[in-house]
Structure 1
Amino acid sequence: MSISEDPRAESWNVTAPLACAAALFFLLLASRRDTSERGDKKDPPGPRPLPLLGNLLQLDLKWLDRALSKVNVQLPLVLFFNRLFFSLQLAKQYGSVFSIYLGTRQVVVLAGYKALKEALVGNAVEFGERYVNPIFEEMNLGHGIIFSNGDTWKELRRFALSTLRDFGMGKRLAQDKILEECRYLIPVLEGHKGRPFNTTSPLSHATSNIICSIVYGDRFQYDDARFVSMVKRANDTIRMMSSVQIQLYNMFPRLFGWLKDRHVVVSKRNENMEDIRELLRQRKEKFNPEMCTGVVDCFFVRQRKEEEAGVERSQFNEENMMFVVANLFAAGTDTTSTTLQWSLLLMAKYPEIQERVFEELCQVVGSRPMDVDDRKNLPYTNAVIHEVQRFGNIAPMAILHQTTQDITFQDYFIRKGTAVIPLLSSVLYDESQWATPNTFNPSHFLDNEGKFVKKDAFMPFSAGRRVCLGEGLARMEIFLFFTSLIQRFRFTPPPGISEEELDLKPLVGFTLNPTPHELCAVRRQ
């Protein structure tokens, strides 16, 4: 499906500002009282919504997780009113369970470790569905794993988990694939000869090849045109999913269907689907049911079995296959590569931590290839990796959940079908769980004797029924790629830039990447 330009866009740009300014001014007058004063004790409290707009004027859509979790965050009210500011105190003001309105839809926000654990783990079924907003519905059409519910989700997730395990997730086979990919990645970094380069592409290509080798049974060359395009489109789409335009479309799909970002992400989806369709066609030509080498081959086998058995409404159809592959490709490319980008940037920012990691690697591993079993003998390195994931906070609001039934949670009544934001950033930066939550501090995961300590509040992969499908694979990738690179390179800022000048401000997106930057990879002697 292609989308053409909407002629209403030009008319809207000409007439909208004055009409909106007048309407917003009068709506603003009604917004000074919050919903906690309504006397309805069953509903989660929250700021009073405006008619139609909800809390749109009170929230910075670019930094929604910060608006929901921090105290005294100064937020722009609206451009039409000369960027008036006011102080919004949501999680601290209303507690660990509160509601906001994104347009006309009520969204319940869960903040802090205790609330998220009680909801996602203690009430896993009640909070276990996926809320699929308009853009994800349009992108996935109810297919695949991540943005589906019911039988589709149950069957395809069960299939994906078992098949990923068969092809090495969390096992020695996956380690071999990752270490092999390291042998392709290291020469790419060496090729820069210590000169500054952007880490995004090489890390994205390397991590994407791991999921490709498991899904398709083979890796791609880093200069393969189709592969490069698919990785770039996946990364670009994920960046755009939290743009203000996309969020406005999600709140008012009939009104804002003409916005450019919506056209772009759907167009990128269509292009990726064409590439996936061609790759599946090529794979089917080589298909041998006696020698399955990837998830796709196993899907073909299951599809054939259900066809032969005459299963009605089988979930193992061509549409679901394409979207399962697309889901695994996007998730397996972006989150792991983003974590690795943060890890190298933070090592360049804090060279004393980088050198301590290197010294521990020298003492325990030496120059031999890394092994995932080394992790238990590398407490400081393990602590650094965990702190990168905590501090990087790459999925601050996870993916929205939805209640499967009416539930009274922490004395508040939440209706069936209510969208729920599990605010992961409020857990990873919870002041009751971390000594210095706003500081990069590996000691968060070390005891007084320097031994690694697990923390229950470490939830970068979320928790419960919707926990990240590839958590085991991602943890192995992060450990092996990070340690293999630190073994061989010292990462530094570009010449003329000090460690203090390296910017740790994240780039706004569905996941939080570091701001675009360059580093030098200096070969260790």
Structure 2
Amino acid sequence: MRLFVYHITHFAGCGCDITFLIMTDTESIYSIILAVMIIITVYILYSTWNGWTSNKRFPPGPRPLPLIGNLHILNLKKPYLTFIELSKTYGPVLSVQMGMNKSVVLVGYETVKDALVNYADAFAERAHVPIFEKIDNGMGVLFSHGENWKVMKQFTVTTLRAFGMGKRTIEEKMIEESGYLIQQFDSFKGKPFDNTMILNASVANIIVGIILGHRMEYDDKIYQRLLYLLNENAHLLGSPGVAVYNIFPVLGILPGSHKAFFRNVKELYEFLRNTFVKHMIHLDKDDQRSLIDAFLVRQKEEANNPKTYFHNKNLTSIVRNLFAAGMVTTSTTLRWGILIMIKYPEIQEKVQVEIARTIGLTQPNYSHREQMPYTNAVIHEIQRFGDILPMVIPHEVTKDVDFKGYFISKGTRVIPLLTSVLRDKTKFKYPDEFNPNNFLDSGGNFIKNEAFMPFGAGRRLCVGETLAKMELFIFFTSLLQRFTFCLPPGADDVNLCAPGGFLNAPPPQTICASSR
């Protein structure tokens, strides 16, 4: 058996010597593998250490381990809880490493507001999250980048407004849809039911009307399938499988929940492509009935522009973005609202008393919120306490930036912790409990709170914020006007502890709705 001695000096600039033996007969393959593993390990250790210590002004944080970073200390179901604990040691601007990727976490109202508003341009980019990059390729509006994002955001906001966002026309559709929702709840005659899919269908019909030009029936099989796909994907986004994929995308070849996520998106995109064809056949630029029509008209107008952003990939992504954002967040907030009313029947009763005193049996509309300070405060507190997006979709800095005494280099991922804003002890009187007085003064008047940021802030503020506010008020007051909510007979107390995930959804719970 022959032995060769290999000596490597100052490997990768780390200043260390490595000597190993390679045997040239039957054990040679194993020796080579061992040698390669040693080299890779030394390189990773050096890279991790050097990357963590080279920038002395990078925000502080726990020291990472090779390959996994800080995953060993992270609560994968509720990572925001880990970040809040770490901020007690490292301050409101801290760093964590997930896998080989370093991120900066922003904690508390002052820090998050300073970054997203005062340094809006520097923190405006969307992070390149593997699962979103895979399905959208930087297209659409929620997960897009650079100039594509600017063009698509402008088109989306303009078109939403053209089709009624913030206007009486869309309010009338919400009022009409709330009538269908009331009929559905009333059909159970006070018996227990699960309201998840019903609320999804009702809320989604508002954005469906804008995107497709018509509402869909709750029992429509295609509609039910679309709602199921969107609902399941919202759940899958918070699964360990997707978390691992986002940290180690190379492991995407293995089975896991990310595979189910991709299958669902593929099926949803197939429906959308068929829908686009139908709209193209009946397209009339002088009679645009939906967002899809408006996009297709722009697409025709820019047909000869090789740099146009109005292509089918962007259209598909925009529609999926709006479907998901327009349904899941608002319906989840309404589910929280009903559960909280059950948990605190005295608050439910006070809302009902104010509704009866102010408008009686008149159909609620958005202008009534000015006359209903307590109800308005309760809705705001539902959004704050429900905290459905504790961590917004990560941002990315667009350039090197000095922030709060730290240096953050271009391309660094940034996680604004919205949950720390909505529960900031310096901004709310009762940050950790459900209490409408967080939005009421001593005289019972509604007061705004600058730390109320459920829709984010800055350049990436939710494009559908106005739409969501109208929906929440009209649907919530319409339901409380007509029903009193409670648990089924024999049921235990209401559980207000979210199971965790990307979306802070309430735990499953059947309810009873008694007509008033």
Q: Which residue of 2 aligns with 1:18?
A: none
How many Å separate the matches in 1 of 2:253 and 2:167? 45
AA aligned to 2:196 is: T
Match of 1:420, SS state, is: strand
Residues 235-287 of structure 1, C-alpha deviations (whole Å, 9 max, x = no match): 11011112111111111111343132111000000000011111222222222
Aligned residues: 473
Residue among 52, 65, 72 paired with 1:57? 72
1:249–1:257 Cα contact (<8 Å) kept: no
AA aligned to 2:514 is: V
How many Å separate the matches in 2 of 1:412 and 1:259? 40
AA aligned to 1:112 is: G
In the TM superposition, 1:233-382 aligns within 5 A as 233-307=229-303, 310-382=304-376
Q: Which runs of 5+ in 2 are unaligned?
A: 1-37
How many Å separate the matches in 1 of 2:397 and 2:388? 24
Alignment of 1:518 onto 2:515: no
Structure 1: which 4+ aligned runs deviate by more than 4 Å?
37-41
Residues 178-221 of structure 1, C-alpha deviations (whole Å, 9 max, x = no match): 01111111111011110111110110000110000011110101
In the TM superposition, 1:125-524 aligns within 5 A as 125-307=121-303, 310-497=304-491, 501-524=493-516
Match of 1:312, SS state, is: coil
Q: Which deviates further from its counterpart, 374-383 or 318-327?
A: 318-327
Residues 372-417 of structure 1, C-alpha deviations (whole Å, 9 max, x = no match): 1101110000000000000000000011000000001000110100
How many Å separate the matches in 1 of 2:108 and 2:253? 35
2:78–2:501 Cα contact (<8 Å) kept: no
Q: Which runs of 5+ in 1 are unaligned?
A: 1-22, 70-88
How many Å separate the matches in 2 of 1:496 and 1:282? 51
AA aligned to 1:48 is: R
AA aligned to 1:191 is: S
Match of 1:117, SS state, is: helix
How many Å separate the matches in 2 of 1:425 and 1:331? 18
Per the TM alignment, residue 314 of structure 1 is displaced from its structure 2 partner at its CA by 0.7
How many Å separate the matches in 2 of 1:132 and 1:338? 26
How many Å separate the matches in 1 of 2:97 and 2:500? 21
1:241–1:509 Cα contact (<8 Å) kept: yes
AA aligned to 2:129 is: N
> TM-score under structure 1 normalisation?
0.88
How many Å separate the matches in 1 of 2:374 and 2:514? 22
In the TM superposition, 1:68-87 aligns within 5 A as 68-69=83-84
1:239–1:508 Cα contact (<8 Å) kept: no
How many Å separate the matches in 2 of 1:405 and 1:371? 45
Q: Which residue of 1 aligns with 2:116?
A: 120
Q: Which residue of 2 aligns with 1:5?
A: none
Q: Which residue of 2 aligns with 1:106?
A: 102
Q: Is the radius of gyration larger for structure 1 or structure 2?
A: 2
Residues 439-480 of structure 1, C-alpha deviations (whole Å, 9 max, x = no match): 000000000000000000000000000011100000000000
Match of 1:255, SS state, is: helix
2:139–2:145 Cα contact (<8 Å) kept: no
AA aligned to 2:408 is: I
Per the TM alignment, residue 428 of structure 1 is displaced from its structure 2 partner at its CA by 0.6
How many Å separate the matches in 1 of 2:381 and 2:212? 33
How many Å separate the matches in 1 of 2:188 and 2:154? 43
Residues 125-184 of structure 1, C-alpha deviations (whole Å, 9 max, x = no match): 000000021111111122111111111111110000001001111111110110111111
Match of 1:514, SS state, is: coil
AA aligned to 2:142 is: I
Match of 2:495, SS state, is: coil
Per the TM alignment, residue 300 of structure 1 is displaced from its structure 2 partner at its CA by 1.2
